[in-house]
Structure 1
Amino acid sequence: MTASTANDQRFREFKMPDVGEGLTEAEILKWYVQPGDTVTDGQVVCEVETAKAAVELPIPYDGVVHELNFGEGVTVDVGTVIISVDTDPGAGPVAPAAAPAAEVPAAPAAPEEDEEPQGRQAVLVGYGAAPSSTKRRPRRQQPGVPAQPAALQAELNGHAAPAVAPAAPVAAPAPAPAPVASAPAAGRPLAKPPVRKLAKDLGIDLATVAPTGPEGIITREDVYAAAAPAPAPAVAAPAAVAPAPVPAVVSADRERRVPVKGVRKATAQAMVASAFTAPHVTEFITVDVTRTMKLVQELKQDPDMAGLRVNPLLLVAKAFLIAIRRHPDVNAAWDEANQEIVYKDYINLGIAAATPRGLIVPNIKDAGTKTLPQLATELAELVSTAREGKTSPAAMSGGTVTITNVGVFGVDTGTPILNPGESAILAFGAVKLQPWVHKGKVKARQVTTLALSFDHRLIDGELGSRLLADIAAVLEQPRRLITWG
């Protein structure tokens, strides 16, 4: 067995998995281990954030952490190696991979100024050295630009340096003026993969960044410096003339720029897609929910609801489900590719939840089949899990309709935007004590406003109006939870 084969069997690499449904990248939020730590199969080593949720990743190997390839806060593509584990730490130091002697032709030594520094390995940190089987065409060197060491170039491009010595020394060209240290080198700018990713996230062209790292490498600080707005150059006024007053401007240190990623990025993309794909219609209704609020207080004392969270949102959700059962054509989706309407015999009820990570919409699967205690239990678990940032991607997929409770912020109502692929979304406004005509007299009653947005391709005005009117009817006379349910 060769040293390279032994190293490959000893060191195991763990790649960023697809933790959702077709997700392409994830951000490393936190590492729970460091190089040198012992890990066991199934141990959680890091937490990552996808476009849908924060997920903990377990390692599938036993051993000692050899290398963490990315730091916290870095967005990594699915399939990229993020950590390597030494599965046989007692075997001693890593054996160097030897190239076959027949593949290394004898050649005279290169000039002293072109020699590679001793002890330097042209491989990425944490990976065993292996000869490359891909033949690359040598890059033509431009006049006036010094050649980069092969090991450095290979490391930055993600390839191992070839183990073949140069065939013959090349005569040195005529001396050229030394390039300015801050000017970018010709060809591809030199930068490590995390720095390239940072530049991509900030929208910075690496060819325009002045490198300050050793041997012309672009560092993170160089990218941040390029992203910061340049200060306006001071203009010297003539000595005999008093300087004119300069208008006040907002300095750069009073602004913050935050890359759009994770939940915020996914929400923005989904809302734009929904707003400009599905033709939205929004209808409103104001309803007296005094009896519903009284029922909430009674249910809190009911032994069957003991230990459960009972609130107005629970009864609004139940009313919504009953109304959809009375108008099942509402529960559908538009299949643009096949030009079909997909009617669904299940209701996955989404609940919009505001969390520190942003707005997410997990859903209760088969909510239409749940009893009131079951609905209360799942609603409480859904909200609690969302606030802890532990909602799984599967819990946010497959929704059919959604409720957004804007009333908790004291808002009367709004015009909610549909979640992509869903047919309707109900906004539940604040419940307020208002003068209301009740049994022919003006009395103080508890009143709220509901807003229903729906996809007009699926739901016409009549069907949408009937749905909203039935929701209001149940909330106005909650005994219909029994007679209609």
Structure 2
Amino acid sequence: MSTIQTVTLPDLGEGLTESDLVEWTVAVGDTVELNQVIAEVETAKALVQLPSPYAGVVAELLVEPGATVPVGTALLTITVEVSADATDPAAPAAEPAAEAEPAAPERTAVLVGYGPLVEGSSRPRRRSKSEDWTAAHAVADEVGLALAGGRIGPKVLPPVRKLAHDLGVDLNKMEGSGKDGMITREDVLRAVSGVDVSPAARRPDALSAAHRPGLARPVETVPTPSRLESAREVRTPIAGVRKQTAAAMVASAFTAPHASTSLTIDVTPTLDLLDEFRSDRALEGHRITILTLVAKAVTVALGRNPSLNAHWDEAAGEIVQFGYVNLGIAAATPRGLLVPSIKDADRLRLPDLADAIGALTESARAGTSTPADLAGGTITITNIGVFGVDTGTPILVPGQAAILAMGAIRRRPWEFQDQLALRSVMTLSLSFDHRLVDGAEAARFLADVGAILARPGVALSMV
């Protein structure tokens, strides 16, 4: 016998109450497996793949792509086959030894928030508060899927799952080479040997039905109804990252009393140091840039000026001063401005800091940043110099005490050793919350950062 199950938008964590449905990866009539990706949704923080909580046949798609839906909204229905003895009153009674493990719940995986039932348990797996929605994919994989057959689903992290999805690799048919059978990025790439993996082929919208596991036919593209174009104007709905960024910036601008200061410095010695790093074989493979050195200078300067690494807790009536630095790096992406943060950046060596910056910004631009990546920052750096801009007044990330903007590096006439010389010059602009940071504290912090960049050896006297 069969039953109709409704799949709703789960609690995505991190206080998110709604998301935009980007696209369906299934169509009505398609057979789906347990935990197969059925849709992609865009939250205010990341692009998330939605796994199916049931194995069955898609009966109806209830939401159009492009729509913004609150948590708990019905997204689609799935026809699920269940064993007859699960509901038939005439079915023989279970043996006494089996009464503690009812058969019916084990044969149908149920999603509560996310995640199926654990085999042998009559209750859904509950999510801990520390887990975010993106981590749910890995959690669900470990729990074990397709319970009717007793098969354990593939163990794979969310970024690797997305890569496999984009390249058309069926994870259910793979064996991982990682720890405890974890499927790695290399495993997925090996699986597509001989398959076109050009950038165009990696885009979800470029995948054919043959490349999407579980699809019986191509998915019809449904135009986003809320995007209207004419000869004179284009209207795009305010949603997703753009909507949340706008709300956050307005809240920041009208909640925290912003103040700003700037400093122009000669960074020629820092650029000379970068040249030395590039020729240092010990640093080979690590992309150390001016942003890396500014990030390191910020973490050092915060040790001497901790008031800039703090939070104003209005509800508790307290100032929270952090004993760690979660360094936000603002990244311009096609979806808008994202600010992933490097956790405990003050504890990282320079090569590790460089690697962390590269990985986070790449994930942000690819749309694979997790909610955890985008939360918890304590201070932020934004590099407006990459756009050729010399200076600006950045708006604080809500909840943070300061944000530092790096301007473009220009070759200018500059006083050097009592002579006029052509030097590499950059302007640093600092915005800060005047409730937390006095003008003198902000000036000392900025002067410390500037001193390190003007004379990198000065950092040794600060630690």
The TM-score with structure 2 as length reference comes to 0.67
Residues 288 and 351 in structure 2, CA contact (< 8 A), matched pair in contact too: no
Q: Could you tell me which residue of structure 2 aligns to residue 72 of structure 1? A: 65
| CA apart distance, 1:253 | 3.9
C-alpha displacement of 1:275: 0.7
Change in 2 beyond 3 A, CA 1:54/1:438: same
What's the counterpart of residue 60 of structure 1?
53
Q: Deviations over 1:199-226 (max 9, x none)?
A: xxxxxxxxxxxxxxxxxxxxxx9x98xx
Tell whether the 8 Å contact from 2:33 to 2:52 is kept in structure 1 after alignment.
yes
Structure 2 CA distance, aligned partners of 1:306 and 1:483? 27
Contact 1:331 1:343 in 2 (8 A): yes
Distance 2:13 2:450 in 1: 37
Gap runs ≥5 in structure 1: 1-5, 92-220, 229-250
**What's the TM-score once normalised by structure 1's chain length?**
0.64
Partner of 2:201: none
Secondary structure at 1:395 match in 2: coil
Taking the aligned partners of 1:326 and 1:77, their CA distance within structure 2 comes to: 44
* 1:174-193 residue CA offsets vs partner (Å, 9 max, x unmatched): xxxxxxxxxxxxxxxxxxxx
Aligned partners of 2:356 and 2:282: how far apart in 1?
15
Residue 34 (structure 1) aligned to one of 27, 31, 45: 27
SS for the counterpart of 2:399 is: coil
Give how far 1:373 is off: 1.2
Moved over 3 A (4+): none
Aligned equivalent of 2:401, options 423, 447, 451: 423
Q: CA deviation at 1:310?
A: 1.5
| Alpha carbons 1:290, 1:445 under 8 Å: kept | yes
Taking the aligned partners of 1:30 and 1:378, their CA distance within structure 2 comes to: 30
Aligned to 1:405: 383
1:262 lines up with 2:236 in the alignment: no
Matches within 5 A, 1:231-250: none
Rounded to whole Å, the distance in 2 between the matches of 1:479 and 1:255 is 54
Structure with higher Rg: it is: 1
In the alignment, the residues of structure 2 paired with residue 82 and residue 252 of structure 1 have an alpha-carbon distance, to the nearest angstrom, of 31
**What is the rounded CA distance, in whole Å, between the counterparts of 1:318 and 1:252 in structure 2?**
49
Distance, in Å, in 2 between the alignment partners of 1:400 and 1:388 is 24
Which of residues 392, 399, 423 is equivalent to 2:370?
392
Whole-Å separation in 2 of the counterparts to 1:37 and 1:337: 49
Query: Among 280, 284, 293, which residue is 2:262 paired with?
Result: 284
- Contact conserved, 2:308 with 2:379, CA < 8 A, in 1? no
Partner of 1:174: none
Q: By how many angstroms is 1:40 displaced?
A: 1.8
Residue from 64, 68, 75 that aligns with 1:82 = 75
Distance 2:237 2:357 in 1: 32
C-alpha deviation, 1:483, in angstroms: 3.8
Q: Deviations over 1:419-464 (max 9, x none)?
A: 1100000000001111111101111110000001000000001111
- In structure 2, the residue matched to 1:19 is 12
Residue 303 of structure 1 and its aligned partner are, at CA, apart by: 2.5
Contact 1:410/1:430 (8 A) holds in 2: yes
Q: CA deviation at 1:13?
A: 2.0
Which residue number in structure 2 is paired with residue 350 of structure 1? 328
1:246-283 per-residue CA deviation (whole Å, 9 max, x = no partner) reads xxxxx974122222111111111111111111111100
Q: Does the CA contact (< 8 Å) of 1:19 and 1:55 recur in 2?
A: no
How far apart are the structure 2 equivalents of 1:90 and 1:311?
A: 61
- For residues 173-212 of structure 1, the aligned pairs below 5 Å read none
User: 1:76-225 residue pairs with structure 2 within 5 A?
Assistant: 76-88=69-81
SS in 1 for 2:328: strand
Matching residue of 2:424:
446
The answer to whether the 8 Å contact 1:304/1:373 transfers is no
For 2:5 and 2:271, the matched residues in 1 are separated by 59
> Given the alignment of the two structures, is residue 44 of structure 1 paired with residue 29 of structure 2, yes or no?
no
- Structure 2 unaligned regions, length at least 5: 85-222
Matched-pair contact (CA < 8 Å) for 2:45–2:374: yes
Cα contact 2:341–2:373 (8 A) shared by 1: yes
Match of 1:216 in 2: none
Partner residue, 1:377:
355
Q: Percent of aligned pairs with the same residue?
A: 52
Match of residue 215 from structure 2: none
Query: Quick one: distance in 2 between partners of 1:37 and 1:306?
Result: 49
Matched, 1:316 2:294: yes
Q: CA RMSD in A?
A: 2.2
Equivalent position amino acid for 2:311 in 1: A
Distance 1:76 1:63 in 2: 24
Q: Note the alpha carbon deviations across 1:138-194, whole angstroms, 9 max, x for none.
A: xxxxxxxxxxxxxxxxxxxxxxxxxxxxxxxxxxxxxxxxxxxxxxxxxxxxxxxxx
Deviation at 1:67, TM superposition (A): 1.9
1:20 and 1:394 in contact (8 A); partners too: no
Does the CA contact (< 8 Å) of 1:362 and 1:396 recur in 2?
A: yes
- Secondary structure of the structure 2 residue equivalent to 1:276: helix
